[in-house]
Amino acid sequence: MAKLSIDDIKNELKGKKVLMRVDFNVPLDDKRVITSDKRISASLPSIKFVIENGGKLILMSHLGRPKGKKNPEFSLDVVAVKLAELLGKEVKFSKDCIGDEPKKLVDSMKEGDVVLLENLRFYNEEEANDPEFAKKLASLGDIYINDAFGTAHRAHASTEGVCKFIKKCAAGYLMEKELKFLGQLLEKPAKPFIAILGGAKVSDKIMVIENLLNIVDGIIIGGGMAYTFLKAKGRAIGNSLCETDKIDTAKEIMKKGLDKNVSIYLPIDHVVARMDGGPGDFMEKLKKAEYKEVLRDDIDDGWEGVDIGKNTIEKFKNIISKSKTIFWNGPMGVFEVEQFSKGTFEIGKALAASGAVTVVGGGDSASALKKLKLSDKMTHVSTGGGASMEFMEGTELPGVAALTDK
C-alpha cells in the first residue's frame, strides 16, 4: 500500500496521543440497546495495537443522523460501555468531541488509556469539513489513524480535514484490509472474474459497471435493475421496476459489453407478484401479494418481477462455479420477504461453495449473508457499502487520499 500503515508507526506510538477515526455507527433498538457490535469488533485489532504499544487512544465516530444537533438518542455513551466490555478495560467517555471536556480528559490520559468522544455529527461542521472544526479535533492528537473505511468516501472533518493539521496520518488494520482486497479486484484478479450486481436501480451502479467492463469477464445482473436491461432488449416487463430514462444507458452498456467481449447475463425467468393498488406500505402489500413463477423472460401486464426464477438461479450458479474471482453487490430480489428471498440466498450459497476469491461489497448482500450465517465463508465482506462501490468505480476516496504517503 502506498499510504502509511499502522505497522509503519509502531515505534512512534509510546506516550503519544493517537486520534483514531472509527466507524461505530452501530444499529440500536428502541431502548438504545446495540443489536450488533460487529462494527466495534472490526476495529479492535487497531485499538489493541495502539494500547499495547503505549499510545493514549482518542476514538471518534458518528452515530445515526442527528443532523448537526445534540440529541441524546444518538449519543455514543452506549458504545463506550460496549467497547469497555469487549476490551476488558475502562473506556472514558467525553460528553463532547471538541472544547474543554475532551481536552481535560485527554490531558489527564496515561499510556494505554482509551477515551471515546461524543458523536461528531452533533456538529454540522463535521460533514461540511469545516477547517476550524477539523483543527479543534486535530489538536487532541499527535498522530492520526483512520480505521473507518465506511466513511472514507466522504471528505469530512474527521476523515480528511484533520489530516491537514497532523503530520503523520496512517491507515488502521481494517482500512488496510479493505484496500487490499478491493484493490486486488481492480489490479490483479484471478480469471475468470465475474461481477454480480443487483439492487433496485441501474443509476446507482452505472459508474461501477463502466469501470468493471474494463476488468471482468462477465457481469450477472439481477434485482430491480435487471428489468431496465430487459426492457432495453425489447422484453415485456409488466409492472416491474424500470428506470425509463436509463434504457438507452442499458443499451450502451450491453453494446460496450459486446465490444469488450464481456458477457452480460440477465434473468431468463422470474418470480412475479401482483399487489393491490392504492396507498399503503410496499413491503406490507408485497407480503400479502399473489405470486407465481414465470418460466420465460417476458412478464405479463399487472405483474411485477420480485425475484429471479429457478432456471436463472441454475444459470447463475453454473457461471459462479466456473469463476476464480467474484465481486457481489446487491440482492437478486426482495429478499426481505421470505417467498422472494430464494434467488439472493442461492447466490450467497453458491459463492460460499465456489472456492473462488469472493469479495462482497457490503450493504444488502452482506445482510443476506449474515442471515445465511455464511459471512465467514467469504474471502472478504466489506464494512462500507458506499465506500466499496465508489472504490470499485475507480474513484479515489478522500479519506484514503488524505493519509500520509510512505
* Residue 82 among the catalytic residues: no
The single residue of 17, 21, 39, 246 carrying the catalytic annotation is 39
Look at residues 191, 158, 165, 208 and name the one whose alpha carbon lies nearest to residue 391: 208
Place of cell 485499538: 47
134 class by beta-carbon count within 10 Å (0-12 exposed, 13-18 middle, 19+ buried): buried
Q: What are phi and psi of 369, to 5 degrees?
A: -65, -35
* Residue 183 among the catalytic residues: no
Cell (9 digits) for 165: 493539521
* Residue 201 among the catalytic residues: yes
Question: Which amino acid type is present at position 397?
Answer: L
DSSP one-letter code for 205: T
What's the CA gap between 344 and 335, in Å, rounded? 6
Q: Indicate the length of the chain as a whole number.
A: 406
* Residue 65 among the catalytic residues: no
DSSP one-letter code for 7: G
The single residue of 64, 68, 112, 386 carrying the catalytic annotation is 386
> Do the bridges between strand 218-221 and strand 193-197 make them parallel or antiparallel, or are there none, so unpaired?
parallel
What's the CA gap between 106 and 114, in Å, rounded? 9
State whether residue 244 is helix, strand or coil. Answer: helix
> Do the bridges between strand 92-94 and strand 193-197 make them parallel or antiparallel, or are there none, so unpaired?
unpaired
Integer-rounded Cα Rg, in Å, for the chain is: 23
What angle, rounded to 10 degrees, do the helices at 310-321 and 342-353 form? 20
Q: Which residues contact 38 (CB under 8 A, 6 or more apart)?
A: 26
- Helix (H) or strand (E) holding 398, with range, is helix 398-401
The single residue of 198, 222, 223, 363 carrying the catalytic annotation is 363
The single residue of 38, 95, 103, 201 carrying the catalytic annotation is 201
Residues annotated as part of the active site: 39, 201, 363, 386
